[in-house]
Each structure stands twice: as C-alpha cells, then as structure tokens.
Amino acid sequence: MKLPIHIAKKLQQLLQPGTSIASSFMQHAVVTKMLEDGLLQKQQIGKTKALLFIPNKENVAAYLNNHFGIGNLQDYINILEGEEQSRAANVTISGDSKLQSVRTFKGFLVNSYDAINAELSSNPIIIHPSPGSYTFIYDYESFIPDPAATIVGIENPENFHQVEKQRYIFAHIQPLFVSRYPQNNDLVKWLTAIPNHYLHFGDVDFAGISIYQNEYKKHLGEKATFFLPKNTELLLQKFGNRDLFNRQYNAVKDYTLYNEKNVQEALLLMLKYKKALEQEVFINGA
C-alpha cells in the first residue's frame, strides 16, 4: 500500500507544533492503520466531529521509512507533484523507481540460520544466506520449500536481520523466515499455495495482532498461528512498554472475541500488566 499524496500533505501539516486536522479530511485505509499503530490519535470534539493529531512527532520518520520506504516526506511530496519524475529521484526517496505505475520487483525476502532445502523453477536450491545477506525470491510461484519447514513471518526488519540470535525460541521447529517487507500480496499468495504451516512472529501489541488477523489469518485459516514465545510473560514484565499499550488500547473494544489460543493469551497478558512488547526484545532475550 502506497501513501497517497493528499495524506502525505496532511501528515506534513500535522508535524507542525500544535496542529490537528479534522478526521473527515483524512479518511483512508492508511490513516486507519496509523491510528491502530498509535502514530495518529483521535480526539472527539462532539458527536460528529473528531480531530486527528500526532502524539509523538519524533516517531513519524521511522514509521514512514518502515511502512512505506519513504526516507524524506517532503521529497516524497515533491516528486509526486513534480512534472518530471526521474527514475533516479524516485529510487532515492522511496526505493521505488515507478511510484505511479508498477512496482519494480515482485516477490519477497527469505532468511534462515540453518540450511533449508527447497525447489525453485524445478531445480533444487538451498536457502542459507551468508551473514549480512538475505535471499530474494522473485519467481515465488515456483518456489517450493521443504514440507517439514515451518514458515515464520517476521514483522520487524531488525528481527529478520538477526534470526541467529533468536534461535533459542525456535528450537522446536525447522524455521524458514520470511519478511513482511516489502509489503505486497505476493507473500500471502505464496503461503496459500504451499502446504507448510505459517507462524506469525511480530510485536505483542494490539497492532501486531491486527496485522496477523487482517493480513494473514483471514487468508490462511488453520494454517496460520500467532507465535507467543515461552518467555513472553517474563519479558513483558521486565521490558513491556506501558505507553505503547496506552496508545493502542481501546477501552470500548471487547478483547474476548478472539478465539485463537495464542492470541487470547497474548491479550490477557497485555491486559494483566497494562503493557505491550515490541518484537526486538526477543533478540538475545533468553
């Protein structure tokens, strides 16, 4: 999902001190996602009017980079507004040389700390990237992993980069790691076409559960499970983020409606300690 230019401009306005914007002027799926993630917050003014604002402006740059590949918001706006959209300029600001046409690559990144046998275009291959590198699967329609491998979807880039340091929580499976970024439909299409089980490893917060439910579970059904490492409660007690919990918690939402065991357990732990847990803490978190 790309960031529409009119939303980009509204975000730029909201970065000014003391600025808020009527929610009616920022209606889009990406805005809903930003509210879920806590980047934006809503202030109800009356029965029908609400204002949107950015509670922590220092988080915006990292969020735009992680979710949209945007390195500089102003440059992003300028390039979309400009009459000349050079390929080099587009690559510089967003990693996408065809912002207004088609994406440059299809496919997704995979990683593994142990060798995983697979097949690509009817040829045997081994997935075992050298430290500091990943494998990019372009022709994913012909990519068939070892049926014994569990596909582990990783939400955050740092965890995907340092899978070796998280080996201790995957001792019970043979994991093949896939990255949520770059975000496209290719990963889910591939997951639905293979028999391997999918384990979703992300932030233990309300936004992370929403990502799992809406991007994966609803497409994969019983093949998908939310991963809750055994040391989650201990790490939540020690390193949980109360501010993140408060930003995402919805007091009027019924959190008992989730029927998957691990999701329900994650919610109960968050509600018990009034904290959320960012995924990066599992790196060396034994």
Digit-coded pLDDT (tens) for 37-62: 999 999 988 778 889 999 999 889 98
Tell which residue, 158, 142, 121, 153, has the closest CA to residue 194.
142
Mean pLDDT of 20-46: 90
Cβ(186)–Cβ(108) under 8 Å? yes
pLDDT average, residue stretch 27-31: 91
Is 42:51 a contact under the CB 8 Å cutoff? yes
- Per-residue pLDDT at 111: 97
CA–CA separation, 79 vs 1, rounded Å?
Answer: 18
Alpha helices by DSSP H, the chain: 5-14, 29-37, 60-68, 73-81, 87-94, 157-161, 186-193, 206-211, 218-220, 232-239, 242-248, 261-273
pLDDT: is 285 or 75 the higher one? 75
Q: What is the C-alpha separation between 11 and 77, in angstroms, rounded?
A: 11
Q: Which helix (H) or strand (E) holds 110?
A: strand 108-111
How do residues 56-78 score in pLDDT, each as one tens digit? 998 899 889 888 888 889 888 88
Q: By the 8 A CB rule, do 182 and 140 touch?
A: no
Mean pLDDT of the chain, nearest integer: 89
- In the three-class reduction of DSSP (H, G, I as helix; E, B as strand; rest coil), residue 102 is classed as coil
pLDDT, tens digit (0-9, with 9 covering 90-100), for 177-235? 999 887 778 999 999 999 999 999 999 999 999 999 999 999 999 999 999 999 999 99
Which of helix, strand or coil describes residue 103? Answer: coil
pLDDT classification of 282: cutoffs 50, 70, 90:
very high
Give the CA radius of gyration of the chain.
20
* Residues 241-277: tens digit of each pLDDT: 999 999 999 988 888 888 899 999 999 999 999 999 9
Dig out the tokens for 44 from the structure: 């109800």
Which one-letter DSSP state was computed for residue 204? B
Nearest alpha-carbon partner for 76 in 19, 181, 5: 5
DSSP 42: E
**Tell me: the pLDDT tens digits for 115-166?**
999 999 999 999 999 988 999 999 999 999 999 999 999 999 999 999 999 9
pLDDT value at 96 more than 50 = yes
Phi first, then psi, for residue 90 (nearest 5°) are: -60, -40
Which residues are registered as beta bridge partners of 136? 109
Burial state string for 121-143 with b = 16 or more CB within 10 A and e = fewer than 16: eeeebebebeeeebbebeebeeb
Distance CA 126, CA 82 (A): 45
Full set of structural domains in the chain with CATH: 5-94 (1.10.10), 108-282 (3.40.1360.10)
pLDDT at 101: 47
Is residue 102 scored above 70 in pLDDT? no
Task: Read off the pTM.
Answer: 0.65
Regarding beta strands 108-111 and 135-137, do their DSSP bridges make them parallel or antiparallel, or are they unpaired?
antiparallel
Nearest to 116 by CA among 55, 163, 50, 169: 163
